[in-house]
Amino acid sequence: MYVSMKEMLWHASVNHYAVPAPNCPDFNMVKAALSAAEKEQSAVIIDLSPRQIHFNATPEAFAPMVKALAEPLNVPVALNLDHGAEFEDICRCIKAGFTSVMCDASSLPFEENIRRVQQVVAFAHAHGASVEAELGHVGQAADGDGRSDDMYTKVDMAVEFVERTGCDALAVAIGTAHGKYPADYVPRLDFGRLAEIKSALGEDYPLVLHGGSGAGDENFKRAVEGGINKINLWTDYSAAFVSAIRDYLAENERPDYLFVSTNAEEKGAEWLARYMRLFGSAGRYQFGEGKMEETD
């Protein structure tokens, strides 16, 4: 099923689990994510950033591809623009068929962030798409970002932000960062702040964790318990594909690209399936008498 992210994350929020959102800039990564979702009976969100669109895909080509792959499945699949910054680019993705978009104006002043998200929400909701926004700052792991609470989401500002923008999900900054962390470094997340934000916004309001790669299993578990309902994964998901390709090439003197790519798909799906189980999204969509039934 090809669906909006709003209802998917509402279900995750009220049932206390998180949906994985791997960035999938090509056909093989999309197929791997959908294969894992179908096997694990899990929802999945396909993220695609503006940078990845620039290098690998146009919205007008990508959205129909994901929709065609998702519609025959009996699990919900959303296609989300990740870290959309320019209004024109966001509108282009909505018109192309993305079911959700992120308006990321988190680096701008509070009032300007609100103004831009309000603008996107009005357009997206009119076209049946949902909107994710970000408050606080999730920086770059290699730069040591995410270690200062100056960057963290403030509870009172989160309440005002959601009320004034009407965004459907909020990405919060509680200590994670984008990219690959230095060796042996595991981020220390502010779970107390997360609990306060969740309580203030309501138990049925979805929260998002960016910079998920490298956060560690225990952090993931506690984040989901604390109210996170979408976890973005790119760096480690990408690394799983790169590792699979390297292993295959090392073991085969005359590699065939068809087998290189399908082997990477299988390994990528296995990697993602583990996180579906860890986040609690596995087994949430079960089947009986030809129709999907959502489990509680």
pLDDT 10s digits, 206-216:
999 997 666 68
pLDDT tens-digit readout, 144-183:
444 555 679 999 999 999 999 999 999 999 987 654 444 5
What is the CA angle 106-107-109, rounded to 5? 85
Residue matched to tokens 């949902």: 130
Indicate the angle between helix axes 217-225 and 191-201, nearest 10 degrees.
Answer: 30
What is the CA angle 99-100-104, rounded to 5? 160
Average pLDDT in the chain:
89
CB atoms within 10 A of CB 171: 26
CATH class of 5-289: alpha beta
Residue matched to tokens 């926004």: 133
Mean pLDDT throughout 104-127?
Answer: 97
pLDDT at 176: 74
Query: Has residue 290 got a pLDDT over 90?
Result: no
Coil, helix or strand for 250?
Answer: helix
Coil, helix or strand for 22?
Answer: strand
Tokens coding 288: 């009986």
pLDDT at 212: 61
Mean pLDDT throughout 282-292?
Answer: 64
Lowest mean pLDDT among 19-28, 94-103, 179-188: 179-188
d(CA 80, CA 92) in angstroms, rounded, equals 13
Give the model's confidence band at 111: pLDDT under 50 very low, under 70 low, under 90 confident, else very high.
very high
Concerning whether 184 is annotated as a catalytic residue, the answer is: no
Contact (Cβ atoms closer than 8 angstroms) between residue 131 and residue 119: no
Contact (Cβ atoms closer than 8 angstroms) between residue 141 and residue 214: yes
pLDDT at 143: 46
Mean pLDDT throughout 182-188?
Answer: 59
pLDDT at 216: 83
Pairing of β 228-233 and β 207-209? parallel
CB atoms within 10 A of CB 159: 15
Lowest mean pLDDT among 52-61, 161-170, 197-206, 242-251: 52-61
Query: Has residue 54 got a pLDDT over 90?
Result: no
In sequence order, what are the beta bridge partners of 101? 81, 131
Give the model's confidence band at 22: pLDDT under 50 very low, under 70 low, under 90 confident, else very high.
very high
Tokens coding 282: 């596995």
The one catalytic residue among 26, 47, 82, 168: 82
Contact (Cβ atoms closer than 8 angstroms) between residue 172 and residue 158: yes
d(CA 58, CA 201) in angstroms, rounded, equals 35
pLDDT tens-digit readout, 78-105:
999 999 999 999 999 999 999 999 999 9
pLDDT at 184: 56
pLDDT tens-digit readout, 40-51:
999 999 999 999
Lowest mean pLDDT among 11-25, 135-149, 187-201, 279-293: 135-149
CB atoms within 10 A of CB 113: 21
pLDDT at 287: 54
